[in-house]
Amino acid sequence: MTNRWLVTGAAGMLGRDLVALLRGLNEPAVALTRHDLDITDRLSVRAVVETHRPTTVVNCAAWTRFGEAEAGESEALLVNGGGARELATVCRDRSIRLVHLSTDYVFDGTSRRPYAESAVTSPINAYGRTKQAGEQAVLDLLPDDGTIVRTAWLYGRHGMNFIRKMVRLEQLRETVDVVDDQWGQPTWTVDLAQQIVALVRHGASGVFHGTSAGEATWYDLARMTFRLLGADPGRVRPVPSDRIAGGELRPRYTVLGHDAWREAGLTPIRHWTTALTQAFPLLNADESQ
């Protein structure tokens, strides 16, 4: 049976790549931006689902503005927690599968080994707490038809991201200061979109970590970006987190483990350096092409 997909947050980096992939696979996909659907509005969510009758909903909609979440946690919670609950409630009532995107920031960053999918969450900032609330709502309401995909350090062709920022700064500055004491996994949105499709086709539920293999600091990622530009990576200078605004609220180590993929019979995402090397020529392409 062909899936009928509904993607919220479809104007973002991941949403755009996911919708493009689905349409390339000739799978029916309704793409809804935040202007099309307010996921915190219960009546609107129900009306959209009743109109389009999807078999799978992928929730890419989120409040992702880290600093503003700290200043207004209740507003972020309304979207990241309440919006996820509204979607999960409708999906439960209509036996629809829900894939909900979450974050590495649900962990406190005190580990020095990759966090397993089953690891206890303990966020240290408002953004992480609001995303944790969304996860819990989906898992409570959809124990069999809900899938949490935690991701991190996303980059893609559509929209601003760390890679594009480094490309711009390489042109503007002789040296660039980049944090070297936060570890994570740079992840290409195209790779993640393919993983989401594989999960749904496989019928997998539960928690999965949708990040690339390997690990890096922001400093490592910046240096590789300079190398791919043909620039001197020595122009990137390492600095500690306390040199940036809000650095103390960001977890230091949020590398995620990928055992759930193997246990489900699926292959995790490839190494981040391999993916970035392939993606890099596309990141600055004209989006109109």
> Does 253 participate in catalysis according to the annotation?
no
If one counts every other C-beta atom within 10 angstroms of the C-beta of residue 123, the result is 20
Helices (H), 145-252: 162-172, 189-202, 218-229
199 alpha-carbon distance from chain centroid: 15
The encoded tokens of residue 149 equal: 């995909």
Helix/strand/coil (H/E/C) assignment for every residue in 58-112: EECCCCCCHHHHHHCHHHHHHHHHHHHHHHHHHHHHCCCEEEEEEEHHHCCCCCC
Strands 146-151 and 97-103, by their bridges, are parallel
Q: Which residue of the set 105, 127, 155, 219 is catalytic?
A: 127
Gap between the Cα atoms of 65 and 47, Å rounded: 28
Gap between the Cα atoms of 21 and 8, Å rounded: 15
Catalytic annotation, residues: 127
